Amino acid sequence: MARQVVFCFLLITSISSISAVQTHTVETSIGTINGMVDDVYDGSSGTTVKLRKYFGIPFAEPPVGKRRFKKPDPKTPLTEPLNAFNHSKACSQVTVYKLGDVPTDEDCLYLNIYAPETIQDEKLAVMVWIYGGSLMHGFSDMYVADNLAVYGNVIVVTFNYRMSVWGFLSTGDENAPGNYGLWDQHMAIKWVHDNIAKFGGDTNRVTVFGESAGSTSVIFQSLYPGNKALFQRAIAQSGSIGAFWSINENITQNARHLGTLAECETSDNKALVDCLRDVPNHKLEEFVSDFSYGLLTFPSPFTPVTDRLFINYDQKHALDLGNELPVATKEMFSSIDLMTGVNSREGSLFVIPLFGVIDPENFLPNRTFFEEYLISIFLETVYGGLEPQSARAFIIAEYTNWKDPDNKHNTREEFVSLWGDSVFGGGLYRTLNKHETLASNRNKTYMYFFDVEPDFTGGYVPMTWFKKLGHGEDIPFLFGFLNSDVIKDELKVTPSVWEQEMSRDIIRLWSNFAKTGNPNSPSDLGLNWTPYTKTNKSYLQMSRNMTSANVKRRWNQRRMTFWTSLVPELIDRLCLTSVSSSCHSASFVIIINLIFYLHFHSI
């Protein structure tokens, strides 16, 4: 019997569709939408649940022609009923990173809805997914939400938004202010708020959630005052704002460089943007996807900018505790419940040639190579070529395993930790502390640390020596290990029995939070996951066979103090590009702080 249940659970990857004979019709603000109804097996209850699915619903006018490089316009009413049976095309993107065989187009602002059939007037909590991909690539249809919707008993919405040049080209003025991709996300969220009740959703229980660049987007949306009351909760998985990869200070120069490539060279920004609107889309795709044009870089040449419209604060320092945000921004951020966390080995993302690892599978650096070459690439990448030598010495000291400093396996592990801690861990703690401070007792803050050694084959991390949970490998657990037909075969994963069980636990925690703002209720796993505060620094260590003992305090505190306190002070106050009496004064303060740091966090 147990074997039959497991077999049935695995069959959900090939759910049988009966859409030809079963449909469901909804009247929305844009017109009549016809969806299809599938029978989906619920592995937890052993029953079949009817799931209504609506694919390819337009939430904005196509951003083409004169609408290119502008905020999206609301979708005008449909002239006839829409049969929402097929996915839309993905948004145009950097093709070298494409994750699957899916057609792309500028006409791409569509959303998908997965809605379990409700009982009478029952209203379900709603979860709105924002995909990742460095704001350069990705699409909604690679995330199949049948299991999340059915087992979590929530409505799940996925949608496309513009990326790369289409989503973030900016001239720094009113001609092309930028952030169109963020405006797309906002419009999708607003469409959900205005229409989801017709699909059985509760407009007072809407959660936005996302991973990586999608997580960064979640934080951007959580800071935007225009979203007030459009959603009540947010889940940010492995990403926040202010990271080096999400900020490019040369974005206006990159717009001019694109103009030169496209034969639109001019000093007049209006003329430049008008000309770029007429460039064939396939040429734009070529310019940002071919290394030879100089626009295939990391960070992306086109990223979110402080436009004083959507982003009205300093991205890099917005979440620092000493930084004062605009009043409306603070009110928005404090009005939501927030859950955020990281995976155990996020730094696996950086084990690639771009960051000095030519052969990831056989990567085994000695200490000299790490100190003289890999650290230099790290500093140049994260700090824009400003090689802070004092910071270099402290980073090397912190990321050396002094019990066996010449062990190459230890050095490799420290390399992965360095990138994961600095890029993801530091941002995590800044986000937690800022939200907890602003939200006070009104709304809750929860932190998790996902710490397992997955058994599944495939996934995002190809190195055989890598055993922990890498960047992005939480996603299969969250979506119940459903694999879209359009993604590459090497990204498709097959779970073991314990991974299926853990997937169900994660779906329960996430959907609990979406329903109540408390991951412990209504489906109690017996964990007593307590909210995070700056005092207790409580978090849930998500692992196999979780119990209340998995609720812990002060994750990775030494190194998080290093990245959130010591290193920023070194970089910002040492006056690394000049020498003056004020520099010496600042240096003295830093040396004193360093002494205390090393004393209380002894190596």
Domain ranges of the chain: 2-218+231-314, 336-558
**Among 134, 140, 164, 212, the one annotated catalytic:** 212
pLDDT, position 31: 97
Over residues 499-523, the mean pLDDT reads 97
Over residues 570-598, the mean pLDDT reads 45
Does residue 523 carry a catalytic annotation? no
**Among 346, 398, 436, 499, the one annotated catalytic:** 346
pLDDT, tens digit, 9 for 90 and up, residues 377-422: 998 888 875 555 677 888 999 999 999 999 999 999 999 999 999 9
pLDDT, tens digit, 9 for 90 and up, residues 312-336: 999 999 999 888 999 999 999 999 9
Q: Are domains 2-218+231-314 and 336-558 of this chain identical in fold?
A: yes
The closest alpha carbon to 435, from 315, 562, 533, 314, belongs to 533
Task: Please give the C-alpha separations between residue 494 and each of 111, 134, 418, 477, in angstroms, as whole numbers.
Answer: 27, 25, 30, 11
- 46 or 36: which leads in pLDDT: 36
pLDDT, position 582: 38
pLDDT, position 591: 40
The closest alpha carbon to 62, from 109, 98, 18, belongs to 109
pLDDT, tens digit, 9 for 90 and up, residues 151-199: 999 999 999 999 999 999 999 999 999 999 999 999 999 999 999 999 9
**Model confidence at 303: pLDDT above 50:** yes
CATH superfamily for 336-558 is Alpha/Beta hydrolase fold, catalytic domain (3.40.50.1820)
Task: Please give the C-alpha separations between residue 377 and each of 134, 294, 322, 328, 355, in angstroms, as whole numbers.
Answer: 19, 19, 30, 39, 6
- 570 or 240: which leads in pLDDT: 240
Residue 511 CB contacts under 8 Å (≥ 6 apart), including other chains: 125, 127, 148, 151, 152, 153, 154, 523
Q: For residue 469, how many C-alpha atoms fall within 13 Å in the half-sphere facing its CB? A: 22
The closest alpha carbon to 526, from 511, 547, 505, 551, belongs to 547
Over residues 138-159, the mean pLDDT reads 96
Does residue 346 carry a catalytic annotation? yes
**Model confidence at 136: pLDDT above 80:** yes
In this predicted structure, which of 76-90, 374-388, 574-588 has the lowest mean pLDDT? Answer: 574-588
2-218+231-314 has which CATH code?
Answer: 3.40.50.1820
pLDDT, tens digit, 9 for 90 and up, residues 445-476: 999 999 999 998 766 788 999 999 999 999 99
Cα–Cα distance, 543 to 357 (Å, whole number)? 29
- 115 or 596: which leads in pLDDT: 115
pLDDT, position 496: 93
Whether the predicted model's global pTM rises above the 0.85 cut: yes
